[in-house]
Structure 1
Amino acid sequence: MEEPETICQIDMNEGFEGATELRGLRDRAGERGNHLWGIVLAGGEGKRLQPYIRRRYGEERPKQYCAFVGGRSMLRHTIDRAQMLIPRERLLTIVSRSHNGYVADQLHDQAPENIIVQPFCRETGPGVLLPLLHIVRRDPLSVIALFPSDHFILEEDRFMGFVKRASEFVQENRHYLVVLGVEPDRPEAEYGWMIKGGEVLRDGENTFYRVRRFLEKPTGYTSRDLLQSEYLWSTMVIVGASSTLLRAY
């Protein structure tokens, strides 16, 4: 069996027409032959920000249920952003049972069968696998985009354009997993990083590279190291065929 290969995608095609094109793809997602699904990862506890959250809200709560920018929580920002591209009926959200007090308010517009409750938080791997198995049962040919629920993204149309292009690439190259990378503007040691390898495909201004290595919150690297051209922030937004994601387990 061929092992899945992880590649990263950076650079955006300036000709992308934003929300109009995204809506067109989303509207076509219900058509026969379209297999794009999404998983929103909202099962974490977000311990690192709890001191700040206690000061702001007077209680502890997972960061994805907090509104740091505007009136929407990070989770709602993520769901609304994903639904620019993926129909609501094909978007699943994984939460932990301990989050039940927030779920009714935050996910009131989501179908019950698309809210996947895990008994306990077991980090990202099991948090992806559980909704992944639900999707495979419903659509064995699915292509899935994974969205962490703690990102704030200002240029949402542009960002989802990356996801759109990644999904198109994966539908044509199903043995690849694509993770979106960001060119860093500072040596942020609390982020996940990756080192890009050789170029796989250049399509206009969209470029796909192999991933040489992932660095989770790197230590022992200087600012000069991390700001070299081959180092990228990892968004952990991953697009892959469900069969390829399963092989990663």
Structure 2
Amino acid sequence: MKAKPVILSGGSGVRLWPISRKNLAKQFVDIFQNDTSLFLDTIRRVSNKSFSKPLIISNISQRFEILKLIKKHKLKTDKIILESIQKNTAPACAFSSFYSRPDEILCIMPSDHYIQNSDKFLTTINYAIELASENFLVTIGAKATEPNSNYGYILAEKNKKYKKGLEITNFIEKPSKLAAEKLIKKNALWNTGIIVIKNKILIEIFKKFSKK
């Protein structure tokens, strides 16, 4: 079963200013000077048989850069959704559900991740797609190598129901450095912000937890 990549590309990357700025966010910058960018790498990473054409969600100030890159590199995309006002991750995920079939599996991911081992990443995503097809919400964790307070953390434990995955017990969003040190001792993972989920399950979650 193929998954639809939903690439979130609305961030401004202000922490990398002046390299990254409002109209040229970090995901579009050739940071490593190797004639590519995190945005391009993200799209290329999902340009294989495991995925359908990606849906890109960004903001209106970045539209020209996105269109320029798509045309220059002949990238195959589904749709581009542009927000007039930046609203962070949850509304962007909600937008993706409106433009997808209920039975489609969505692979929601930021466009600014640096991933060293693409093969290992794709193996993980393919297993996540299997779980999502069984109506699980799957999020991808990464090994925490330092107590970084800029990241969210995931606490998870083994469950016999899953061959490789772990069952999440708690999310901790951007803890203090001291708290992060304690979390790492508990084998907490960094929350990558990558979610794999069947669209109808995503819609059910929004209905359940959104404000009336």
Bin the TM-score by the shorter chain: 0.7 to 0.9
Q: Distance in 2 between matches of 1:84 and 1:155?
A: 15
Matches within 5 A, 1:42-57: 42-53=9-20
Moved over 4 A (4+): 110-113
CA distance in 2, matches of 1:142, 1:231: 30
Q: CA deviation at 1:47?
A: 2.0
Where does residue 170 of structure 1 map in the other structure?
A: 132
Select 2:69's aligned residue among 106, 116, 120.
106
Structure number having the greater strand percentage: 1
Structure 2 CA distance, aligned partners of 1:227 and 1:193? 9
How many aligned positions are there? 203
Cα distance, 1:239–1:191 mapped onto 2, change above 3 Å: same
Aligned position for 2:3: 36
Corresponding residue of 1:146: 108
Q: Indicate how the Cα distance of structure 1 residues 144 and 157 shifts in structure 2: closer, same or farther if over 3 A, else same.
A: same
Counterpart AA for 2:152: G
Residue 202 (structure 2) pairs with residue 242 (structure 1): no
- Cα gap change, 1:112/1:37 in structure 2, threshold over 3 Å: closer, same or farther? closer
Q: CA deviation at 1:111?
A: 5.5
CA distance in 1, matches of 2:161, 2:29: 38
CA–CA separation in structure 2 for the residues paired with 1:80 and 1:216: 29
Amino acid in the other structure paired with 2:6: I
Deviation at 1:42, TM superposition (A): 0.5
- 2:86 — aligned with what? 121
Deviation string 1:20-69 (CA, Å, 9 cap, x unpaired) is xxxxxxxxxxxxxx452110111122222223436xxxx86211111212
Alignment-derived partner of residue 66 in structure 1: 29
Q: Match for 1:37: what amino acid? A: K
Give the % identical residues: 24
1:158-186 deviation per Cα after TM superposition (whole angstroms, max 9, x unaligned): 11110011101221x21x21001112222
With normalisation by structure 2, the TM-score equals 0.86
TM-score (norm 1): 0.74
Q: Which residue of 2 aligns with 1:91?
A: 54
Give the alignment of 1:185-204 within 5 angstroms: 185-199=145-159, 201-203=161-163
- Deviation sequence 1:182-203 (CA, Å, 0-9, x none): 1222212212211114525342
* Paired residue type of 2:171: F
Q: Distance in 2 between matches of 1:157 and 1:112?
A: 22
The change in CA–CA distance for 1:153 and 1:111 in structure 2 (over 3 A counts) is closer
**Alpha-carbon spacing, 1:200–1:208, altered in 2? closer, same or farther (3 Å):** farther
The answer as to whether partners of 2:157 and 2:169 remain within 8 angstroms in 1 is yes
> Shift of the alpha carbon at 1:231?
0.7
Match of 1:187, SS state, is: coil
Match of 1:24? none
CA gap 1:60/1:36 in 2 versus in 1, 3 angstroms: closer
